[in-house]
Amino acid sequence: MAQRKQSPDLQHRTNRLKIKAGTISSVNIAPGLNLRYRRGIRQNCWQGRYENLELPNEKRKAIYSSAWLPDDHQEADGINILNYRQAYDKVLEWGKRAAKQARLEKLGVEIKDVSNFTVADAMNDWLKMKETTGVRAKGLDDYKYSIQRWIVNCEIGDIPVANLIARKIEQWFDWLCKQPKQGNGHSHSAPKTDEEKRARRATALRILRGLLKPALNYAVKQNESLAQECSPYQWERVLVNTDAARARETVIEPRDWNKLLKEARYDFKQLLIAAKLTGLRHSELRQARVRQYRNGVLYIPKEQTKGNKNFNAHLTEAGITFFNRMVAGKSPDDHILVKRNGTPWGEHSQTKIMTQLCTEAGLLTESGNGKYTFHDIRRTRVSELAAGGLDLELNRRNLGHSSPEIMEDHYLKVADSRFAKEIERAIGDMDWALIQEGTETKIQPLRVANSI
């Protein structure tokens, strides 16, 4: 960046206040671009002035930027109240956009008024684009809900995109992180525990990265005038903590799994067992039909998957026995797993039941919520297969994951009760030899009597 031009009369507030009221003092930043300081009778202000010097004198028309307050009586905040350096930089950026816009006008490019184009308008345009590009209905409904609930109906939705600043987005993001979880047919309280706060922050990150930023980038890509007004793009300057994007680190302990099975009603118990035998998602299991199961393989079509990709889930002998029992006597179009009244499981129907089941089994977090979710069964299955020596690529393909990185980052967890067993199996003998060598008398391994 070129060095700022010096102006003793404008750089120091004491010198600015000596300027006669009602007059304007300025400093030339670039050809045709000036930073002006108006010494008003009631209020002072900074303002930029641009004039296209390439045009003949009779066709020249000066344009002016927005006005900002100087730090004459209050400390500068870099947004509404600016010191000389900040005002200089603001006018320089504005002047670059004005010069580029003048060149576009000379080339005959249509310049649109974007002063009233809000964030909500950008989100609606992006949704229309998604509809025309063939996004699946379920994904589109999720987009619409999140955009309407967390962006359009919030304060940020009414802000013109050209006036959107990084600090405002960061404030909105912090607000979003503190909001209660929504949906699933019941209300939630504001996040309290570390895990709840992490989960809400992870959701906020998905909304920021997956909805707000793509929509704003699409808006400036479609509108050159808006691109000029927004450059540099403020949403690319947002600084937020991304640690929350780490995966939930919960796998189901064997003793807790037995408690869940003991308390579960028969139809939901079959769903739990099917999830543990396959590692499939609830949405994939609840839609599975008899015709999809053959010779120990459960075929999952892309219409039923999250990744929109076909895959086969291969079963163990125990899994084959279980699914043979589940499909016995049913027609090809029947659902494999159904509720006790014979109807299929609904979308998200497992959430409330799983919470009640954890409560009945005494498996609760510090805040009183259920310790486990249905998806934790999938994470547990993946971890058990990996611990048993199944190749990571085979594990990935058997569960329909898009990449091994997803498996490693989000699913390969270890139950706490397995740590000691695995460490003992790996180097237990070496540890015993170590302490035997360091003592004069032989130490016998500790034997714990079986409880009566």
Report the distance separating Cα 101 and Cα 392, nearest Å: 54
Contact 178, 191 (CB under 8 A): yes
State the DSSP H helix or E strand holding residue 446, giving kind and residue range, or none if neither.
none
In which order are the strands placed within the sheet that holds 45-50? 23-30, 33-39, 45-50, 63-70, 81-82
Q: Where are the alpha helices (DSSP H) in 279-348?
A: 282-287, 317-327
| Torsion angle, alpha carbons of 317, 318, 323, 326, to 10 | 140
* CA dist list (Å): 159 to 23, 78, 133, 154, 214: 34, 19, 27, 10, 17
Give CA–CA dist 51/105, Å, rounded. 14
Cα angle for residues 348, 349, 354 (degrees, 5° grid): 100
Q: How does 381-394 read in b/e, with b if 16+ C-beta sit within 10 Å? A: bbbbbbeeeeeeee
Pairwise CA distance, residues 29 & 21, whole Å: 23
Closest CA to 349 of 282, 269, 266: 282
User: 297: which 2 tokens?
Assistant: 């393989």
Q: Is-contact 68 87, C-beta < 8 A?
A: yes
Q: Please state, in angstroms and rounded to a whole number, the distance separating the CA atoms of residues 219 and 125.
A: 8
- In the CATH scheme, what is the code of domain 254-416? 1.10.443.10
- Burial of 246 from C-beta contacts in 10 A (0-12 / 13-18 / 19+): exposed
Enumerate the β-bridge partners of residue 38.
24, 45
Report, in angstroms and rounded to the nearest whole number, the Rg of the chain calculated over CA atoms.
32
Domain assignments of the chain as residue spans, ordered by start: 8-106, 119-245, 254-416
Q: How many whole angstroms separate alpha carbon 349 and alpha carbon 286?
A: 10
The predicted-structure confidence for 251-293, as pLDDT tens digits, reads as follows 888 899 999 999 999 999 999 999 998 888 898 999 999 999 9
Q: Give the C-alpha separation, 106 to 120, whole Å.
A: 31
d(CA 77, CA 100): 28
Report the 10 Å Cβ neighbour count for 260.
Answer: 22
By the 8 A CB rule, do 150 and 172 touch? Answer: no
At how many degrees (to 10) do helices 375-387 and 266-278 cross?
A: 40
Report residue 87 as tokens: 């005002």
In this structure, the number of other CB atoms found within 10 A of the CB of residue 132 comes to 8
- Give the CA distances from residue 450 to residues 424, 440, 447, in Å, rounded to whole numbers and listed in that order: 20, 30, 9
Tell if the pTM clears 0.85, that is, is over it. Answer: no
**Ranges of the chain with pLDDT below 70:** 1-2, 107-113, 134-138, 183-188, 242-249, 401-452
Smallest Cα–Cα separation from 282: which of 335, 202, 351? 351
Of the candidates 247, 253, 254, 255, the one whose C-alpha atom is nearest the C-alpha of residue 195 is: 247
Question: Distance between alpha carbon 147 and the CA centroid of its chain, in Å?
Answer: 13
Q: What angle do CA 379, 384, 386 make, to 5 degrees?
A: 95
| Cα end-to-end span (Å), the chain | 79
| 114 close to 229: Cβ distance less than 8 angstroms | yes
337 to 275, 284, 332, 395: CA distances (angstroms): 11, 11, 13, 24
- What pLDDT, on the 0 to 100 scale, is given for residue 448? 41
Could you tell me if 344 and 247 are in contact, meaning their C-beta atoms sit under 8 angstroms apart?
A: no
| Alpha-carbon span 170 to 212, nearest angstrom | 12
